[in-house]
Structures are given as structure tokens and as C-alpha cells.
Chains A and B, each alone.
Chain A
Amino acid sequence: NAGVTQTPKFRVLKTGQSMTLLCAQDMNHEYMYWYRQDPGMGLRLIHYSVGEGTTAKGEVPDGYNVSRKKKKQNFLLGLESAAPSQTSVYFCASSYLRGEQYFGPGTRLTVT
């Protein structure tokens, strides 16, 4: 039981480049989330999904897109044109009930 997995663990991008972060969970959770964590800002919700084929904007969605086609497939976070302000640690999480979320190990992204 791997829980929530994320790939890659680290990535360096140049401004304007694009990339996709992958998240998978083997707990059959309905809800999935993408957060970013920055010093002094805490965890901020980017986008989330309440089920297969559904996504919604969180607190800081600008510059990001998400995709979740099938419940058991990857929950993808895309950056179409990376900016230095998107340098952060990105966490994927999933939950089943009562808001209890299970987090992946994170992706550390640096945009130069």
C-alpha cells in the first residue's frame, strides 16, 4: 500500500517552460488536492477534484491547470509557462471522509 505518490521529486525549469506533476493514490479516495507550500505562507490549495472527471479551483489557481480523467488514474498538475513565482514545494493529497487528508512526499520545483 504505497499511499500517495508523486513524481518527480525535484525539477528545475527555466522561465516559460512547461511541465506536468503526477500524483497517484491507491486508497480509492474520492477527493484529491494539489497544494503549494511556501515559507511563511503555509499550505495553499491550487486545485482539487471531488471525483472522476471533475476539477475545481482552489485559493491560488492562476498559472496552473489540472486533469483527473479516471478515479484510479493520475491527478495531473500542469504549468503551461513556468514563472519564478511558481518556485515552491508542491504536495498532492487525497481524502475519503471527514476532511482527513493523506499527503504525498512532495515535488520541489525551482523556476529560474
Chain B
Amino acid sequence: TQLLEQSPQFLSIQEGENLTVYCNSSSVFSSLQWYRQEPGEGPVLLVTVVTGGEVKKLKRLTFQFGDARKDSSLHITAAQPGDTGLYLCAGAGSRSGGSNYKLTFGKGTLLTVNP
């Protein structure tokens, strides 16, 4: 079974603080995506990382793919209330049999940024 574990499950911080959320697995993935989901809406793709050690930046969000392609992190600098949402990581193409078009989702980190 391919599992992606996200931590922390819940995170409540004040506006302006920095934070990091983690996505870990025992499986190697060919790529990993991060999604953000706001209440009452579907997940929206933020980024895809493909290469081990890859770092991608999206404004105040920094995404990193682990060297072994088993884990990833999302760092938010100077969080804002608009960053509030459920952050999901999803892996594709696990060597333990997953395909590139089927994703394994983590359960998510629910982030609340208080003004």
C-alpha cells in the first residue's frame, strides 16, 4: 500500500508567521503535486515537482522534493489569512506499482491563518 503521511494535521498561526508542512512516504514517486483546497471548493493544483532535490517557488510558497523522491515540504513565508485552506500532497508513479495518471493523496494539513 502506498501511503503519504502529512504533518501536522492541523496548524493555526498568526498572520506574518512562517510555517512548514511535510509530506512523507516510504515509496518513491516519479512526481509529487501540492494542492490547496478552500472550504466548499475542489482542490486546486499549486505545483508539481519531478526531480529529486528540486525546489520551486510560488510567491511566498516554497516547495521542495526530497533527494530520494520519497518526501516533500511546503514552506510559507509571512503567512496571510488568504493562505487558509487544506493543503494536500499527492504522489504519482510509485515504483511499488502506481501509475503516472493515478495519484496517491495524503490526508492533508488544515491551515488557519488568523489576522
Q: Which residues of A contact B (CB under 8 A)?
A: 4, 31, 40-43, 45, 48, 50, 58, 91, 93, 95, 97-106
Of B14-22, B71-79, B99-107, the one contacting chain A is B99-107
User: B68 near A: Cβ within 8 Å?
Assistant: no
A8 → chain B closest CB, angstroms: 14
Contact assessment for A99 and B101 in the assembled complex, using a CB-CB cutoff below 8 Å:
yes
Chain B 85-115 per-residue mask, 1 if CB under 8 angstroms from chain A, else 0 = 0001010110000001111011110000000
| CB nearest to A99 among chain B residues | B92
Contact assessment for B93 and A99 in the assembled complex, using a CB-CB cutoff below 8 Å:
yes
Task: Note all chain B residues with C-beta closer than 8 A to A42.
Answer: 88, 105-108
A42-B106, A42-B107, A42-B108 as given contacts; A99 in contact with B100, CB under 8 Å: yes
Interface of A is mostly: strand
Task: Note all chain B residues with C-beta closer than 8 A to A43.
Answer: 43, 88, 105
Task: Note all chain B residues with C-beta closer than 8 A to A95.
Answer: 101
Task: Note all chain A residues with C-beta closer than 8 A to B43.
Answer: 43, 91, 101, 103
Q: Complex formed: what's the CA distance from A4 to B45 in Å?
A: 13
Task: Note all chain A residues with C-beta closer than 8 A to B40.
Answer: 105-106
Q: Complex formed: what's the CA distance from A102 to B90 in Å?
A: 13
Contact assessment for B100 and A98 in the assembled complex, using a CB-CB cutoff below 8 Å:
yes
A40-B107, A43-B88, A45-B102 as given contacts; A98 in contact with B31, CB under 8 Å: yes
Q: Complex formed: what's the CA distance from A31 to B33 in Å?
A: 17
Q: Complex formed: what's the CA distance from A97 to B84 in Å?
A: 28
Contact assessment for A31 and B105 in the assembled complex, using a CB-CB cutoff below 8 Å:
no
Contact assessment for B45 and A101 in the assembled complex, using a CB-CB cutoff below 8 Å:
yes
Contact assessment for B41 and A106 in the assembled complex, using a CB-CB cutoff below 8 Å:
yes
User: B48 near A: Cβ within 8 Å?
Assistant: yes
